[in-house]
Structure 1
Amino acid sequence: MGERGTEDWEFADDGTAATASALRGRLAGGPAEHWLHSSLGRRLAVVSNGERAMVVLLDGPGDPGEHATDPDADAEEWSDGFVLANGQADSYPDQDTVPLERAVAVAAHLLAHGAPPPDAPWSVDR
């Protein structure tokens, strides 16, 4: 049970229960876009290039959301190869992505507690 009350998460593509280990396994498959949906209507996206990931939490459709950040990353550096479900490969500033293992840790905390870890740098885009 999360801090937001009972909130269950599942992978949007097949409806299986979302766990940190299942997400880690999916991310090990290479660059991809993974969407998780919660029973409270929230959405969590993890888009990976195999080394870094964009972790975005949305309160629902149309919400600009919020995302994990890496303030220690070089402000001028960008990473590419973030493959979206439609086949498009995007590039993102490294400050707007986190190393892959950190992404899994952030997502695991969100799944368990309904919020990012207290020590996770986070940007609200609303």
Structure 2
Amino acid sequence: MIESWAFADDTAPTSPAAAIEMLRERINAGQLETWLTSSSGRSLALISNTERAMVMLLDSEDDPGEHAVDPGASGSSKGFVLANGQHDEYPDADTLPLTEALQVVHYILTTGAPPPHAAWSIDR
């Protein structure tokens, strides 16, 4: 059985495509940190600065998890605003262009796993 996913505010998208549209709307509205929780207890986060995004997948609340990476990227980007107001800067190698990040999220929501072609860093 594929997991079902809901946003942290308990909004349950009707499909992975609907979830991506909701993520786009949230980012456009300035909500740059979004968490989803699966029916099996996993968490998926997307933190954006509107151009790039960090995608993290955690197995449980205490899990350091794993995140998508862009091995060819260099430099860093600012403007990642967390829900608590904290402003972060991340190495571009630890984030993806927003369009690619949304594709990765869509794949995870559809299959339950990162895309086989995506580069990942295991933080466990």
What SS class does the counterpart of residue 64 from structure 1 fall into? Answer: coil
What does 1:20-99 correspond to in 2, within 5 Å?
20-30=20-30, 32-74=32-74, 77-99=75-97
Task: Output the amino acid matched with 2:65.
Answer: G
Query: Deviation string for 1:33-86 (max 9, x for gaps)?
Result: 101010100000100011100100000111000000001101xx1111100010
Structure number having the greater helix percentage: 2
Counterparts of 1:89 and 1:31, CA distance in 2 = 13
TM-score by length of 1: 0.89
Unaligned runs of 5+ in 2: 14-18
Counterparts of 1:91 and 1:58, CA distance in 2 = 21
Structure 1 runs (4+) deviating above 3 angstroms are none
The alignment covers a number of residue pairs equal to 119
Aligned match of 1:11: 7
TM-score by length of 2: 0.91
Give the root-mean-square deviation of aligned CA atoms.
1.2
Identity across matched positions, percent: 58
Unaligned runs of 5+ in 1: none
Q: 1:64 to 1:57 in 2, by over 3 A?
A: same
